[in-house]
Amino acid sequence: MAIIRYEHSTTGAPNYITHGGYFHNADMSQLIGIGSGGGTELSKSELITYVLSLHSANPQYEQADDAPWTRILLSDSDVTARVNAWCTAMGV
């Protein structure tokens, strides 16, 4: 299985995606998933570069543990760590 960037469809993920819906762009037109046989295959480093470009255009935040109404801007290293954790969880 490979990391695949694919186009969003109102009918769901394409049949070549086994786990999809991750790391979408702002308008949800492109998503990342795991699969084979379609879309655009990305290496892990290409995925990190892609997700960091998404983060640059639309910054990612997380909620503060001690103040749930407070959002904390993620750093590039935080985003990279999340992508690496996702790759590990997906076995890629």
pLDDT at 58: 92
Structural domains counted in the chain: 1
Predicted local distance difference test score (pLDDT) of residue 49: 98
The answer, yes or no, to whether residue 12 has pLDDT greater than 90, is no
Q: Burial of 88 by CB count in 10 Å (0-12 exposed, 13-18 middle, 19+ buried)?
A: exposed
Predicted model pTM:
0.88
Which H or E element spans position 43? none
Nearest CA to 16 out of 28, 7, 25 is that of: 7
Parent domain of 84: 2-90
What integer pLDDT is reported at residue 68 of this predicted model?
Answer: 75
Residue 70, both tokens:
């407070």
pLDDT tens digits for range 15-68: 999 999 999 999 999 999 999 989 999 999 999 999 999 999 999 998 888 877
